[in-house]
Amino acid sequence: MGAESRLAGLLDEVAQGGRVPYLGAGVAALSGGGQPASPAALCAAIEAKVRAPKRASGNMWSVAQFVESRRLRKTLEAIVQEAFAERPDPGPLHRWLARVRPPMIVDAWYDSQILDAAMAEGMEGWGWVQGVSRNGERHDVWTRAYDATGALLGEAPDPAWQTLIYKPHGVIRPGHSFLLSDSDYVEVLTEIDIQSPIPDEVQARRTGRPFLFLGCRFDDQMLRIFARQIAKRSGQGHVALIEGELTRMEEKFLEELGIERLDLPLSAVTGAIAAPA
């Protein structure tokens, strides 16, 4: 079976609810627009406003920590809110997912496009849960859940939702929280191996379902940790669409998790979902 045919079959599994789509920053890049669509791009946007020391430069999480420590959290928030101020229309993959309504969508980037797509497509019976920073919080909190109108429900999603969108790193837009600096992740990384920061409903919906990683790279330890723990105790047979040369650590990670790699550009997904059935 060719890679394109294999991809078409995987997308059918997503549409039928048997496979969980896991979206990385690369999916946001498909829509164009001025928002950062990679850790490197977001890091550059922050460093364009605040010069970071050489030891931190180029590392998004470390640069964010430097700004937070030296210029306070509100400065970091203002910088990244400005970087994400432009909200491009959802891309074709976002809209397709909103139409097929799988039980769960994991979106591991900070943009709002999958949320905007769900609203634009009139998707019913859905909501989202996102990771939140504990900076400024007065009690222990890992996540917050919102219904389809954007109303805050509490910390846990509704099990009755047909589709649950999980944004583990949060959402960068006014009124919402996000994990970005090293200090944001300290307690999360301490607890994530025992799954405390991952909502019970996310754990329930991944059970028995393998993942399809789209627009993801695993060339950073933080990205690998989250992907590993979110996919923990799920179904077997993960697949990642990654074009071109892999880093040594990416190869090791794919082998560790038993992830099949399809060497195709992300644009192949657009073609596959546009093709007649």
Task: Judge if 168 and 61 occupy the same domain.
Answer: no
Q: Please give the pLDDT value at position 4.
A: 93
Q: Please give the pLDDT value at position 135.
A: 83
Domain count, the chain: 2
Q: How many CB atoms lie within 10 A of CB 135?
A: 15
Task: Tell me if 132 sits within 8 A of 170, measured CB to CB.
Answer: yes
**Domain of 252?**
3-35+90-274
Task: Judge if 18 and 45 occupy the same domain.
Answer: no
pTM, entire model: 0.96
**pLDDT of the chain, 277 residues: tens digit per residue:** 699 999 999 999 999 999 999 999 999 988 877 899 999 999 999 999 999 999 999 999 999 999 999 999 999 999 999 999 998 999 999 999 999 999 999 999 999 999 999 999 999 999 999 999 988 766 779 999 999 999 999 999 999 999 999 999 999 999 999 999 999 999 999 999 999 999 999 999 999 999 999 999 999 999 999 999 999 999 999 999 999 999 999 999 999 999 999 999 999 999 999 876 5
Q: How many CB atoms lie within 10 A of CB 233?
A: 10
Task: Judge if 60 and 138 occupy the same domain.
Answer: no
Task: Judge if 213 and 144 occupy the same domain.
Answer: yes
Task: Judge if 162 and 222 occupy the same domain.
Answer: yes
CA separation for the pair 142, 79 (Å, rounded): 23
In the sheet that 20-23 helps form, which strands lie side by side, from edge to edge? 152-154, 143-147, 126-131, 163-167, 104-107, 20-23, 211-214, 239-241, 260-262
Q: Please give the pLDDT value at position 139.
A: 73
Task: Judge if 99 and 193 occupy the same domain.
Answer: yes
Task: Judge if 161 and 44 occupy the same domain.
Answer: no
Task: Judge if 193 and 253 occupy the same domain.
Answer: yes
Domain with residue 135: its CATH number is 3.40.50.1220
